[in-house]
Chain A
Amino acid sequence: MALLTMRSIHKSFHGVPVLRGVDLTLEAGEVRALLGENGAGKTTLMNILGGVLPPDTGEILLNGRPVQIYSPRHARSLGIAFVHQEAMLAEDLTVAENIFLGEEPQKFGRVIDYSKMVRDTTEVLERLGVSVPPRTPVRDLDAPLRQVVEIARAVRQNAKILILDEPTTSLTVRETERLAELIKTLSGQGVGIIFISHRLQEVVNMCNRYTVLRDGMVAADGEISDVDEKRLVRAMIGREMGEVSQRNPRESVANRDEPILQAIKVTCEPHFRNVSFTLREGEILGFTGLLGAGYEELFECLFGQRRGWSGECLLRGKEFRPRAPVEAAYRGVGYVPRDRQVNGIFPERSVLHNTTISTLHRLSRAGFIHLGKERSEFMRYQQDLNIKAASPSGAIRSLSGGNQQKSLLARWLMADVDLLILDNPTQGVDVAAKQDIYTIVRRFADDHRAVIVLTPDMQEALRICDRIVVMFKGAVVAEVSAGDASEELLMLYATGAQEGQGEAR
């Protein structure tokens, strides 16, 4: 009998279906890879199993008995442990205290039995084959050991099912090997493990079964021994090999066009190293890769948000090393950040004020804003970018994601920048607005300017970029022309399954 059976799970958010009848089984001692592109529904499915979200319909059986999982706490009591991507630990508490958090052994009624806690911790860690002093504060541990602590917490609670959500993103190769061993030990003890990862090589090495989700449905399911990395990629993106993307990238970009941005061996450990590239006038250059690939940090450095990088960077031939975003902006570089709710918008301020904030120096005299000019300038861009807002003075948070994003684009277009860095520009944006944004970006680049697009979405990279740089664990693995690339190829580079031929110049 299966340890876990999830049957026909459905889940929608605001009427948008995310899971559409997903089945998943897990046997004791099995290591099952859960694969899929961003937005395929992996996280939602695991949140349902972990008691974070209730399913709309469908059933979950543990050892053949149907259960309802009400909360993460309830999930734990049923033997389901969810180890998140970023370790969720109390930094100032010791290893032992973290492992027993909320369930401390007590003696004399109310006093914590510290020595028993330490003893039990040592025992659990021994079972996992690692030695960490139980009294070490978690703050002093490195990333893999933190993960060990999280897993140890699960093991101590006698978890029968262990969910590992991209556990290797922050680990080095050697550390990943250690994790692999740990997984083997646990599965040998009869624990069923669900392993979420984008790194296919690891998946093939560590897991024995797999499930691929695509658009909220199971696209493939089977034994790892029957497949190779290419077949898995194909199942994830749902298209046959060799199928060409829909647009022809700009042909005219040749070496005769003036370079706008040149990076030479830019390094910022531990995030990325020796990154070199050249961006020319009229070009849209894409950067893609998996979580932890390092391209986001790369452009945080180049926009002056992050310090301590080495290497050289030239903007229009002159040294470019901004110490703060304002310096980058002054040199004509704009940056539309990812996660616009957190990094981009001023939620309770008006659309108008949100849009003109980076242009006020041009719209004012002696510090006083020319309110009429501000409004007319806004209207021009509103019309141009088709920003749908009931009134310029309405709060920006009442707009749809697409219109918010367009306002942020307008913020920099209005500031008349030369180079635009877009980090995940269509995150949470509907299809129509996506198309609008692509058109706006292309038009901007065509006007003797240039754009850098950072996106985890390979399809998007192929659709709007002329060239694409693929990074893996902080290094450039390939630089390809969008015309020659396929989603599959990019995915193979991004997952580290294939070494690139076209190392960046």
Chain B
Amino acid sequence: MIRTLWSKYSVVVAFVVIFVAASILSPNFLTQGNLLNILSQVAITGIIALGQTVVILAGGLDLSVGSVLALVGAVGLMCLNASGSGLVAILATLAGGLVAGAINGLLVAKARITPFIATLATMAMARSVILYMAQGGTVSGNIESYSNIGMGSLFGLSYPTYIFVIATVVMFLVLHWTRFGRYVYAIGSNERAARLSGIRVDRIKVWTYVVCGTLTGLAAVIESSRLDSISSSSSGINYELDSIAAVVIGGTRLAGGKGSIAGTFVGVLIMEILNNLINLLNVSPYLQGFVKGAIIIAAVLLQRREA
């Protein structure tokens, strides 16, 4: 009993411990401004991590999210400049993410390429395409109001925060309330059994990548509008690793079948609080990666207790 409770809520316990520790260590941590800042910072990786969770739950993996974010973000800005319409830009960015996801999904489910390899390839390809299109430089938007999406706020909370929270709730409902969600868990838990139960395994797998790609597109909207530009060489770098780290810290099993959106939400927050704390305590930012790595190891070791 205690074991199942622990396995279910160890992430939450870890979160509370880290939160309390951060409040004690730095007087600036528990201020409204700082907390809002954390939520706002976390939106982009957080939204990608939601999609990554779905893919991983079904036994897959998506390494292409960072490159895809840069590519479709830049494409969105080009559409913005060409059309002058923010709506067109948003739709183009989302559609680009969707298409990229569909390509990943088809490579994995239909061409039967291991997810790691398939998305490693598309990661390289997406990055290359945007580098070529921007000639290694930066794509900028020339309509100022577009940056409202990334920078604007309502009742003290930034728009990205709202988008992240809403996306989390939607994905939570999708996984727990829809057939698609059930099939995702079933495939990750036992793909053979899923096939034999009459689930269209390949189709569902494609959809998981489409969901992940579209959410990456959503993250790209925020990223491109926040700075009003996308750097073809540096935007989205390491986002795939951050999103996977958040999923793992959140207690989702990398082999699939086990985990939750709520876990990923907390996992993202844990990562960001630690980054934030490093800043507040004036620790060298170069140590962020070390702390992140330590957290991943600690998370996996803590969760192993369940067995």
Contacts and interface: CB of A to CB of B under 8 A. Distances in A.
A337 B186 CA distance: 16
Contact of B199 (A305, A326, A364): A326
A369 B182 contact: yes
B179 A371 contact: no
A381 interface: no
B179 A360 contact: yes
Nearest to A374: B182
Interface string A362-381: 00100111010000000000
A363 to B, nearest CB: 9
B190 A325 contact: no
B178 A357 contact: no
A295 interface: no
Interface in A344-394: 344-349, 353, 357-358, 360-361, 364, 367-369, 371
A305 B189 contact: no
Contacts of A347: 189-190
B243 to A, nearest CB: 23
A199 interface: no
Which of B178, B189, B197, B257 has the most A CB atoms < 10 Å from its CB?
Answer: B197
Nearest to A328: B198
Given A346-B190, A346-B257, A364 B179 contact: yes
Contacts of A358: 197-198
B258 interface: yes
A368 B177 contact: yes
A272 interface: no
A360 B185 CA distance: 14
Contacts of A357: 182-183, 186, 194, 197, 199
B179 A343 contact: no
B172 to A, nearest CB: 13
Nearest to B198: A329
Interface string A327-342: 0111000010100001
A155 B200 CA distance: 49
A76 interface: no
Contacts of B182: 353, 357, 360, 369
Contacts of B180: 367
B179 A349 contact: no
Interface residues of B, number: 21
B113 interface: no
Interface in B216-263: 257-258
Nearest to B179: A360
A408 B192 CA distance: 14
A421 to B, nearest CB: 11
A26 B192 CA distance: 43
Contacts of B195: 305, 324-326
A305 B185 contact: no
A174 B183 CA distance: 48
A272 to B, nearest CB: 20
B197 to A, nearest CB: 5
Contacts of A335: 196
B193 interface: yes
Nearest to B181: A369
B179 A361 contact: yes
A369 B257 CA distance: 19
A411 B178 contact: no
Contacts of B179: 360-361, 364, 367-369
Interface in B150-170: none
Contact of A346 (B177, B185, B200): B185
A346 B196 contact: no
A324 B194 CA distance: 12
A352 B15 CA distance: 30
Contact of A364 (B178, B194, B197, B258): B178
A358 B179 CA distance: 10
Contacts of A353: 182, 185-186
A345 B193 contact: yes
A345 B197 contact: no
Given A367-B178, A369-B182, A371-B177, A345 B196 contact: no
A343 B198 contact: no
Contact of A349 (B177, B178, B185, B198): B185
A346 B189 contact: yes
A415 B182 CA distance: 16
Given A345-B190, A346-B185, A349-B257, A369 B199 contact: no
A441 B178 CA distance: 31
Given A326-B200, A357-B197, A369 B192 contact: no
Contacts of A324: 195, 200
Contacts of A342: 192
Nearest to B203: A326
Which of B183, B198, B200 has the most A CB atoms < 10 Å from its CB?
Answer: B198
Given A353-B182, A367-B179, A368-B177, A343 B196 contact: yes
Given A326-B199, A342-B192, A357-B186, A348 B178 contact: no
A352 to B, nearest CB: 10
A359 to B, nearest CB: 10
Contacts of A411: 197
A329 B185 CA distance: 20
Contacts of A367: 178-180
A33 B177 CA distance: 58
A326 to B, nearest CB: 5
A343 B196 CA distance: 7
B201 to A, nearest CB: 9
B261 to A, nearest CB: 16
B192 A330 contact: no
B189 A348 contact: yes
Contact of A325 (B178, B183, B189, B198): B198
A344 B191 CA distance: 10
Contacts of A348: 189, 257-258
A411 B198 CA distance: 11
Contacts of B177: 368-369, 371
A358 B186 CA distance: 11
A447 B189 CA distance: 34
Which of A345, A346, A371 has the most B CB atoms < 10 Å from its CB?
Answer: A346
Contacts of A361: 179
A60 B79 CA distance: 81
Contacts of A343: 192-193, 196
B9 to A, nearest CB: 16
B178 A369 contact: yes
A305 B194 CA distance: 12
A337 B183 CA distance: 19
Nearest to B306: A348
Nearest to A340: B193
Given A326-B200, A364-B178, 13 more contacts: A325-B196, A326-B195, A326-B198, A343-B193, A345-B190, A346-B190, A346-B194, A347-B190, A348-B189, A357-B183, A364-B179, A368-B177, A369-B177
Q: Which 6 pairs between the two chains have the least Cβ-Cβ distance?
A: A329-B198, A346-B189, A360-B179, A326-B198, A367-B178, A358-B197
Interface of B: 177-180, 182-183, 185-186, 189-190, 192-200, 257-258
12 contacts: A305-B195, A324-B195, A325-B196, A326-B195, A329-B198, A342-B192, A346-B185, A346-B257, A348-B257, A360-B179, A360-B183, A367-B179
